[in-house]
Amino acid sequence: MSETYVITFHVRSAQRERFLALLMPVLEAMRHEATFVCAALHVDPDHPDLFQLHETWTDRDDVVKVQLNRPYREAWHAALEDLLERPRDIRIWKPIWPSR
């Protein structure tokens, strides 16, 4: 059963462009992974430094043991402390509709 990771980012205003420059290549790379289903990046229209990422994957074990350790994520993960006002909020959701 797939899971969706809903991740909220409070980005430092001065780091917004760097945040996006580091994240976009990660999103492009992960879309080719075997257990990847889909992803969507959102920005709050009233708060341009508040982002939410929805990532859906078919296998949590693969996400934790393999995907989070992919080399293409290294620079992104290393920069997070500098990019963010506070730690990411990560929530895991289980889709119930549509059924697949």
Domain that holds residue 39: 3-93
Within-domain flag for 98:
no
Within-domain flag for 99:
no
Within-domain flag for 24:
yes
In this prediction, residue 97 has a pLDDT band, given cuts at 50, 70 and 90, of confident
In this prediction, residue 16 has a pLDDT band, given cuts at 50, 70 and 90, of very high
Q: The domain that contains 23 carries what CATH number?
A: 3.30.70.100
Within-domain flag for 31:
yes
Number of structural domains (the chain) is 1
Amino acid making up residue 58: T
For residue 28, what are the CA distances in angstroms to 21, 31, 73, 76, 90? 12, 6, 11, 13, 20
The two structure tokens encoding residue 56: 């859906």
pTM of the model: 0.92
- Please write the tens of the pLDDT for every residue from 18-74: 999 999 999 999 999 999 999 999 999 999 999 999 999 999 999 999 999 999 999
Within-domain flag for 88:
yes
Within-domain flag for 100:
no
